[in-house]
Amino acid sequence: MNAETKRCFAALLHKQRREQSAFLNRSARTGKQRTQTGKLAFGALYGAIALVLMASFASLSWPLAQLLLPAGWETLYFLVLELLALLVSVLAGALSSYNRLFQAKDNDLLLALPIPPWMIFAVRLSGLYEMSLFYLLLVWVPAEAAYARFAPHPLGGILSAVPMALLLAGAASVLAALLGWAVALLVAKAGRHKALFTVAASLGFLALYFLGYQKSGALLNALLSSALWGGGEGLPQGGWLLLGRAACGDIPVLLGLLISLAAVCAALGKLLSGPYLRLMTTRTGGAASKMKAAPSRRVSVRRALLRRELLHLAGSPTYLLNCAMGSLGLVVLSVLALYKAGEIRLLAVQLLPPGLAGAAAAFAAALGAGTNCLTAPSVSLEGESLWRIRSLPVSPWQTLRAKLELHLAVTLPPALLCAGVLLAVVRAALPMVLLGLLAVALFVVLSAAVGLVLGVLMPSFHWTSETAVIKQSPFCLLAMLLSWGAALALFAGTAALSHRMPPAVSLSLACLLLAGADALALRWLKTKGAARFETT
């Protein structure tokens, strides 16, 4: 690598770092550097979210370590957690690798500079690697902590923890890049139907992932049974155990895996160096076609603004896949609930006090609805075209209201369907059905409003890819966590009160609380939020 190449590489890496840390270092509202306190607050928020996620993975690794490590199955313990970490990391990276690697907004800018395409790919891959490493550590850190606590001789495993994490993150980013490449190849063929195709491909991937997850759950149970009570019969042998042995501190195996990964990375770079430029410059619209386009009939300002939001959602696979898949999940849950009605009813009778099944059904649907996160990124998604809405005779509240209505239009029907099905499955009484549906509707309004409040408070308009706003900003995750927290807290409150009053009364109180919170959030948005949006 000559001096010019090195300089170019360093400059690109520097740009990548600045882009990735922009949300932390620069205030999107003022465009200025954050103060030290602001940076610390943002860092603390991220840290808190990471800790919550780590705690959830610790709830899996801790009992696993308790079972397997004292019995001497260290290799199996690491193998299971390595595969889990890889799955989490690949899933997180795969959905954004196409946009990050192939269709970033600064493609033309970079290609106009004297930078070889392989270098752009390598630097972008390093960004994907960092993201993969972050998600991987969410699983890996609690896994290593449990190992240190329960392993009889943990030194080797602890010493190899860092190189193993780096290695696994490398493997995850390579897999994610390959998936992104496959999507890019297919999108190049799909032409004008890119958005539809990307969504279909991603859903197919998710379906495969879900099937894999189900199968792996059964497999894990079989492995544990075999390890603990079956004398180890049927456990993975040979190559599979290499991964586990490397994590236990087997230096030659670890080195071997590192070298293999480096070779795979080099091969991938070689493989992609040719088609990368072509895939980067693929324009999805194809040749300019002469098509007649007639204006549609006049609609109200309110409907026009909602249509604008709907068109944005439909035209952006990233937005659709990351923020609206809760709706699909609710429909799937409704179908599953009908299919497994008997089992659900039995479970409700066994686990819940009489009369509380209706509230549980309603809050289960609310939890599902809380995974939709349309409003939180919607303000930032205005991006550089913010001038357009600002120069039109539309009040800030009208614009914000359209974003709320988008969330309601996409989330409310499947949420009510799911709640209705679940309430019917548990055979809730009519007053509980009505109250349950009301609670779900009020909850959907609240989750939309909370997301929008966060979006207005933390906008970021200067992004190069929508992924930066949707996946790398804290407010989407925060909005979802707040929604889920509210649903769980309300259910806990309803359950606690049901010992002292009929469940219908406690659910009515939950509805009142939700209505109050809705009113407060909407009032803030209409007044202070609108003023803030206007001057951001």
Residues near another protein (CB under 8 A): 192, 283-285, 288-301, 303-305, 307-308, 311-312, 314-316, 383-385, 387-388, 390-395, 535
User: For residues 256 and 315, which CB has a smaller minimum distance to another protein in the complex?
Assistant: 315
Smallest distance from another protein to CB 114, Å:
23
Smallest distance from another protein to CB 226, Å:
52
- Nearest 5°: the CA angle 510, 515, 519 is 150
CA–CA gap between residue 373 and residue 325 (Å, rounded)? 9
Q: Are 84 and 56 in contact (CB under 8 A)?
A: no
User: For residues 105 and 427, which CB has a smaller minimum distance to another protein in the complex?
Assistant: 105
User: For residues 299 and 349, which CB has a smaller minimum distance to another protein in the complex?
Assistant: 299
Place of tokens 């190899």: 160
The two structure tokens encoding residue 117? 């395409």
User: For residues 218 and 291, which CB has a smaller minimum distance to another protein in the complex?
Assistant: 291
Smallest distance from another protein to CB 403, Å:
14
User: H/E/C letters for each residue in 270-318?
Assistant: HHHHHHHHHHHCCCCCCCCCCCCCCCCCCCCHHHHHHHHHHHHHHHCHH
User: For residues 343 and 384, which CB has a smaller minimum distance to another protein in the complex?
Assistant: 384
Q: 176: buried, middle or exposed (CB in 10 Å: 19+, 13-18, 0-12)?
A: buried
Beta bridge partners, 33, equal 26
Smallest distance from another protein to CB 105, Å:
10
* Start-to-end CA span in the chain (Å): 45
User: For residues 189 and 283, which CB has a smaller minimum distance to another protein in the complex?
Assistant: 283
User: For residues 226 and 284, which CB has a smaller minimum distance to another protein in the complex?
Assistant: 284
Smallest distance from another protein to CB 314, Å:
8
- Residue 35 has a CB neighbour count (10 Å cut-off) of 10
Place of tokens 């192939």: 102
Smallest distance from another protein to CB 33, Å:
13
CA-to-CA dists, residue 73 to 66, 228, 232, 249, angstroms: 11, 9, 9, 14
C-alpha torsion 189→194→199→205, nearest 10: 20
Smallest distance from another protein to CB 34, Å:
16
User: For residues 75 and 465, which CB has a smaller minimum distance to another protein in the complex?
Assistant: 465
Place of tokens 């989490």: 88
CA-to-CA dists, residue 82 to 89, 248, 387, angstroms: 10, 12, 48
Smallest distance from another protein to CB 407, Å:
17
Smallest distance from another protein to CB 188, Å:
15
CA-to-CA dists, residue 275 to 112, 116, 468, angstroms: 18, 13, 25
Instruction: Give 186's contacts (C-beta < 8 A, 6+ positions apart).
Output: 197, 201
User: For residues 262 and 392, which CB has a smaller minimum distance to another protein in the complex?
Assistant: 392
